[in-house]
Amino acid sequence: MLLKRIVMGKNVIIIGSGNAAMSAGIASLETGANVLMLEKADEKLAGGNTKYTAGAMRFSYNSSEELLPLLSNPNDERIGRTDFGSYTEQKFKNDLLSFNEGQSLSPEQEYLVKQSYETVKWLADHGVTYEPIYSRQSYEKDNKIIFWGGLTLAADNEGVGLHDMELKAFKRLGGKIRYNAGVTDLITSNSTVTGVRIGNEEIFGDSIILACGGFEADDQLRKSEIGLDWSQAKVRGTPHNTGDGLKMALKLGAKRYGKYDGCHATPMDLHMKNFGNLEVPPKSRKNYRKICYFLGVMLNADGNRFVDEGKNFRNYTYAQFGRAVLEQPKHFAWQIFDSKVFELLYEEYRTSDVSYVEANNLEDLVKKLDGVDQSKALKTLNEYNHAVDMQSIFDPTELDGKCTNGLTLNKSNWAQTIDTPPFRAFPVTGGITFTYGGLKVNENGCVMSEEDVPISGLYACGEIVGGVFHGGYPGGSGLTSGAVFGRLAGFGAASI
């Protein structure tokens, strides 16, 4: 019976080959469809933005027991002394709400939360395995390893591993993929999408799934939709996410949906290579990110602090602060630390190719801060040091309330005096990961028209789905969203 369904199943064409596309492909194949995946890039650069990520996936769970079936090594000796806590659906919803700029949860956000654990478990059933993010999401305290921020697991070997495991599952189920096959147009007949064009070649199918990313790699779209500052953004991921699927869908009358002037961003090494760097191993690739600002302060070209570095755990602030850095004068900032926190800085601050300056006193340090008003910078640092609450105890495992008092812009948590040499400063700019604006899909993943009716034969998932993120982003939600809406679109496109 299964073989008959495969032979007689729908022909599904998927545009793209990242996490969302792979999830859609696996779901369609499960339903008995014949699936052809068309990838714009060559095999080396295939996978959209997935390979550039750290592979972290945010999802709801009620206890450590729910995590064990997902782990590649549940017998790791650290598991027994690890406190993973819980991350309930309500906590996930609250985190999303904190970025919604006063808006209630969208239907897409509700669906993301509800399906998050089930989808991650579903991928695990297809051979995707995970490991605890010990090095970035936990601290040791009283011989216990305590996770914070609701983000606990990442795919083995990070984003590259996630792509490889999903691709293996896709092929094992019978899926086919073509590289160097950039789709240039959609074919329609009687208001139904019936196929795609690759130049002069036409390929027909019963359903088409757009899973080809947002528009973050298109300079003109970034400027017109997000703002002029974004022409200066470093693109963290693939150069191929230029909004192709979005343009084709809008041409057919699809509905614009979501926050088009919003995007996922993060502070990045000022001197990073644009479009990331797949030449280096995945564990080294994240060295371009600089997200330990909560352990120090950030100064702009005017020598001023411009964000509350300790507002919340970095999971909940780095997307907003990446934007804030880019929108500063000259589009950069310096992150400043003293030696008290060097051991707490993530590995990307300690690699051989990291950009930083060092000095044994603050006066000499600020002289090395290129592009900065040095006198104002020194004044800002001194004022900050005098404003630190010396009574509270520093504790990076929680919102410790160790703050500054009396400043125009106070630091809410983890405020320590910057007074122990040597001092280091790291230059950063804003890196863009993906865009928030996209298309509206219905409960089956079908793309909706401007008249709010489904466009027959056309489905979408991944970055191109609007309404999932608004004013910010809790870390790890992007990959989960791709998988959740990929699975939805895959089942919808293949349904008989």
> At 65, which CATH number?
3.50.50.60
Does 484 fall in a domain? yes
Does 224 fall in a domain? no
SS percent in the chain: helix, strand, coil, step 5: 35, 20, 45
Which structural domain, as residue segments, surrounds residue 350? 265-431
Alpha carbon distance 383, 392 (integer Å):
18
Does 238 fall in a domain? no
Category of 19 on φ-ψ map: left (φ > 0), alpha (ψ -120 to 50) or beta? alpha
Alpha carbon distance 388, 478 (integer Å):
35
Both 154 and 28 in a single domain? Answer: yes
Both 406 and 456 in a single domain? Answer: no
Does 248 fall in a domain? no
Both 35 and 166 in a single domain? Answer: yes
Both 178 and 29 in a single domain? Answer: yes
414: which 2 tokens?
A: 């983890």
Which of residues 376, 407, 431 is at a domain's end? 431
Which of residues 386, 416, 431 is at a domain's end? 431
Does 237 fall in a domain? no
Does 422 fall in a domain? yes
Both 321 and 393 in a single domain? Answer: yes
Alpha carbon distance 155, 56 (integer Å):
6
Q: Which residue has 């982003």 as its token pair?
A: 473
348: which 2 tokens?
A: 């990307």
Both 405 and 311 in a single domain? Answer: yes
Q: Return the pLDDT at 351.
A: 81
DSSP labels for 324-392?
HHHTSGGG-EEEEEEGGGGGGS-GGGSSTT---EEESSHHHHHHT-TTS-HHHHHHHHHHHHHHB-SSS
Q: Return the pLDDT at 8.
A: 52
Cβ neighbours for 304, distance < 8 A, ≥ 6 positions apart: 376, 380
Does 253 fall in a domain? no
Which of residues 412, 431, 450 is at a domain's end? 431
* Domain count across the chain: 2
Both 397 and 470 in a single domain? Answer: no
Q: Which long-range contacts (CB under 8 A, 24 or more apart) does 115-118 make?
A: 115/484, 115/487, 115/488, 116/58, 116/59, 116/60, 116/92, 116/480, 116/484, 117/59, 117/60, 117/61, 117/66
Q: Return the pLDDT at 489.
A: 98
Both 338 and 209 in a single domain? Answer: no
Both 136 and 93 in a single domain? Answer: yes
Both 415 and 447 in a single domain? Answer: no
* Strand stretches in 133-262, DSSP E: 138-141, 144-147, 153-155, 176-178, 185-189, 192-198, 201-204, 207-210, 234-235, 256-257
Helix 107-125 to helix 89-97 angle (10° resolution) is 130
Both 331 and 275 in a single domain? Answer: yes
Both 425 and 444 in a single domain? Answer: no
DSSP labels for 386-438?
HHB-SSSPP-TTS-----B-S-SS---S------SSSEEEEEEEEEEEEE--E
> At 421, which CATH number?
3.90.700.10
Burial of 319-354, coded b for 16+ CB within 10 Å and e otherwise, reads bbbbbbbbbbeebbbbbbbbeebeeebbebbeeeeb
Residue 443: burial class (beta carbons within 10 Å; 0-12, 13-18, 19+): exposed
Strand partners, 392: none
Q: Report the number of secondary-structure helices (H) and strands (E) in the chain.
A: 13, 23
Cβ neighbours for 295, distance < 8 A, ≥ 6 positions apart: 337, 341, 344, 345, 396, 414, 416
Q: Return the pLDDT at 350.
A: 87
**Beta strands at 207-210 and 234-235: parallel, antiparallel or unpaired:** unpaired
Does 392 fall in a domain? yes
HSE-CB for 117 with a 13 A CA cutoff? 18
CB 464 within 8 A of CB 210: yes
Q: What is the pLDDT along the chain (496 residues), one digit of tens a residue?
A: 232 233 357 999 999 999 999 999 999 999 999 999 999 999 999 999 999 998 999 999 999 999 999 999 999 999 999 999 999 999 999 999 999 999 999 999 999 999 999 999 999 999 999 999 998 899 888 889 999 889 999 999 999 999 999 999 999 999 999 999 999 999 999 999 999 999 999 999 999 999 999 999 999 999 999 999 998 999 988 999 999 999 999 999 999 999 999 999 999 999 887 876 655 554 444 457 899 999 999 999 999 999 999 999 988 898 899 999 999 999 999 999 999 999 999 888 988 778 999 999 999 999 999 999 999 999 999 999 999 999 999 999 899 999 999 999 999 999 999 999 999 999 999 999 999 999 999 999 999 999 999 999 999 999 999 999 998 889 899 999 999 999 999 999 999 6
- Reported residue count of the chain is 496
